[in-house]
Amino acid sequence: MDTMHADLLVIGFGKGGKTLAATMGRAGKRVVMVERSAQMYGGTCINTGCVPTKALIHRASERPDGADPAKWYAESVASTAALTAVMRGKNFRMLDTLDSVTVVTGTAAFLDDHRVEVVAGDDRLEITADTIVINTGATNVIPDVPGLRDSAHLVTGTELIASPEMPGRLTVLGAGYQGLEFAAMLRRYGTEVTVLESTARILPREDDDVARAMRDILQDEGITFVTSAHVTRVEDRDGAAVVHYEQDGAAATVTADAVLAATGRAPRTDGLRLEAAGVRTTARGAVEVDEHLRTSRPHIFALGDVNGGPQFTYVSLDDHRIAADQLLGEGRRSTADRVAVPYTLFTTPPLARVGLTETEARAAGRSVRVAAKAIADIMAMPRASIVGDTRGLMKFVIDAETDAILGAALLSVDAQELVNTVALAMRSGTTASTLRDSIWTHPSSTEAFNEVLATVVR
C-alpha cells in the first residue's frame, strides 16, 4: 500500500471542502483532496444539484413555439451536461494547479483518527493527516414503500436530470421544496405531473397563505396535487409504475412512467468507517459537530450537508469560513454567528424565504404585525407586468414592538434576489419602516417593498 502525509485531508469535493482545501493550499499547507468519482469534482451543486436543475428550469422557459417537447428536453439535458462538464473541469483545475494540493480519486474510509485508506480498483493509498475534514454531502432518501425500491421506474432527482428521456407521466412523492421544484420544471417541458403529499397541504413548513398561493400557481400550470395521501405500494405493470395510495380511507392509484422520490436527503456517511476514528453521529445519522464544526475528535471537522445543518451550498461555504478561522485565524467564528439565512425554491415564479414564518412567530409568543399583498395588486412593481408574470405574493412578519423584520416570504419574479436584501436588513437591524421608506431603482422588483410594507396590519 502506498502512503502519503498531509497537513490537511479533505474527504469530498463539495463547496466547503474544496474552498477550505484551496485556502489552506494557498497558505502553504500540504493538502490532499479525496473524491470518490471524477464526475463529482466540484461537489453536488455543480454536478447533480443547484446548477443542472436551475439550468433545466431556465431552458424550459426558452422552448420555442412549436418545438417538440421531448426533443427540446433531450437537447436541454445535453446542454446542461456540457455546462456541468465545463464547471467540473474548472473546479478540478482550481485545486490541481496549486502545487501544495493533490487530488486523489477513490473511496475513502478511516483506519483510525489520523489515517484514511483510499481505494480505487486494485489500488490502495494510505493517507495520514494532522487535520481531516469530512465533506461527503448527502444522499437521496428512498421511502420504505413496498415495491418502490424494486420498481424499474423509480428515479431520484440525480437520475432524472441525467436522462435525456422526458417522462410522459411523472408521479412525485413529496410536496416539499425538492418535489415541487422538479414537478414545476417537468410540467413546463410538457410532462403530466401528479404530486402525492402525506400531509394535509403542500409546503407544510410554510404559512397557509403562502402554500395556498404556490398551489394555485402550480395547479394553474396543470400539476395535480393529492394531499393527505398515504402511499401503500408500487407495482410495475405494462411498462409503467402503478402507485397505490389511500386518501381519507379510500384507495386510489396513479400510473406513471417515472416515480420521483422527493422525500428528503440524508447525510452520506456510509462506508466511511467513522467508528474506527471515534467520530460520533447524531440520532439522524449526521456527523456530530460543535459550534466550530469540530467532531468528537477535535482535529476532525465536518462541513456541509454531512454535519446535519441546513442543506445549502452557501451554508457549506460558510462552514469553510468557520473551519479556516479555526485553522488559520483567531478561532472566533462559529455557527452561532449565522443570522437570517435565506433560501429559495426555484419554481416559476420562485419562492424565497428568510427568518420566521407568521405561524412560527406567533407560536413563539411574539407580538407581530403582518404586511402582505398579492403581486398583481402591487402598483409600485411594474417589473412583474413588464416580464409578464404577476403571480404570487409578498409577505413580511414584523415585530410589533421594535419594528424589526422577523421574516419574509417572497413569491414573485426576482424573489431569489430580493430575499438577500431582506436578509441583509435583518442582519443589520434595519427596520421595516426604513425598508418601506428607502429609495429603490425603477422599474424594479425591489420597489415593491415601498408599497407592501405600507400595508402593515395587526
What CATH code is carried by the domain that includes residue 238? 3.50.50.60
Same-domain pairing of 42 and 123: yes
Chain center to CA of 321: 20
C-alpha cell at 120: 480505487
Query: Is 49 assigned to a binding site?
Result: no
From 314, 337, 360, give the residue that closes a domain: 337
pLDDT value of residue 458: 52
Same-domain pairing of 191 and 251: yes
Label the pairing between strands 229-237 and 169-173. unpaired
* Contact by Cβ (8 Å): 227, 202: yes
Q: Is residue 118 part of a domain?
A: yes
Label the pairing between strands 240-247 and 250-256. antiparallel
Q: Is residue 206 part of a domain?
A: yes
Burial of 292 (0-12, 13-18, 19+ CB in 10 A): middle
Query: Is 180 assigned to a binding site?
Result: yes
From 263, 278, 295, give the residue that closes a domain: 263
Q: Is residue 147 part of a domain?
A: no
Same-domain pairing of 351 and 328: no
Q: Note the pLDDT tens digit of each residue in 294-316.
A: 999 999 999 999 999 999 999 99
β-sheet with 154-155: strand ranges across: 154-155, 258-261, 169-173, 192-196, 224-226
Distance linking the first and last C-alpha atoms of the chain = 69
Q: Note the pLDDT tens digit of each residue in 164-179.
A: 999 999 999 999 999 9
C-alpha cell at 257: 412512467
Same-domain pairing of 173 and 203: yes
Q: What is the CATH number of the domain that holds 439?
A: 3.30.390.30
Same-domain pairing of 369 and 442: yes
The range of the structural domain enclosing residue 243 comes to: 154-263
pLDDT value of residue 433: 96
Same-domain pairing of 57 and 166: no
Same-domain pairing of 272 and 246: no
Same-domain pairing of 311 and 173: no
Same-domain pairing of 309 and 418: no
Q: Is residue 431 part of a domain?
A: yes
- The DSSP line for 301-350 is EE-GGGGTS---HHHHHHHHHHHHHHHHS-S---GGG-----EEE-SSS-
**Identity of the residue numbered 231:** V
Query: Is 451 assigned to a binding site?
Result: no
pLDDT over 70 percentage in the chain: 100
Question: Which residues are marked as active site?
Answer: 442
Same-domain pairing of 8 and 105: yes
C-alpha cell at 358: 407568521
Same-domain pairing of 17 and 127: yes
Query: Is 197 assigned to a binding site?
Result: yes
From 337, 359, 393, give the residue that closes a domain: 337
* Contact by Cβ (8 Å): 245, 157: no
Q: Is residue 146 part of a domain?
A: no
pLDDT value of residue 456: 86
Question: What whole-number distance in Å separates Cα of residue 142 and Cα of residue 154?
Answer: 9
Query: Is 177 assigned to a binding site?
Result: yes
Q: Is residue 17 part of a domain?
A: yes
| H or E element in which residue 236 lies | strand 229-237
Q: Is residue 43 part of a domain?
A: yes
pLDDT value of residue 390: 97
Q: Is residue 29 part of a domain?
A: yes
* Contact by Cβ (8 Å): 326, 21: no
Q: In total, how many domains does the chain have?
A: 3
Query: Is 71 assigned to a binding site?
Result: no
| H or E element in which residue 443 lies | none
Same-domain pairing of 164 and 58: no
Per-chain mean pLDDT for the chain: 96
Spans in the chain with pLDDT lower than 70: 458
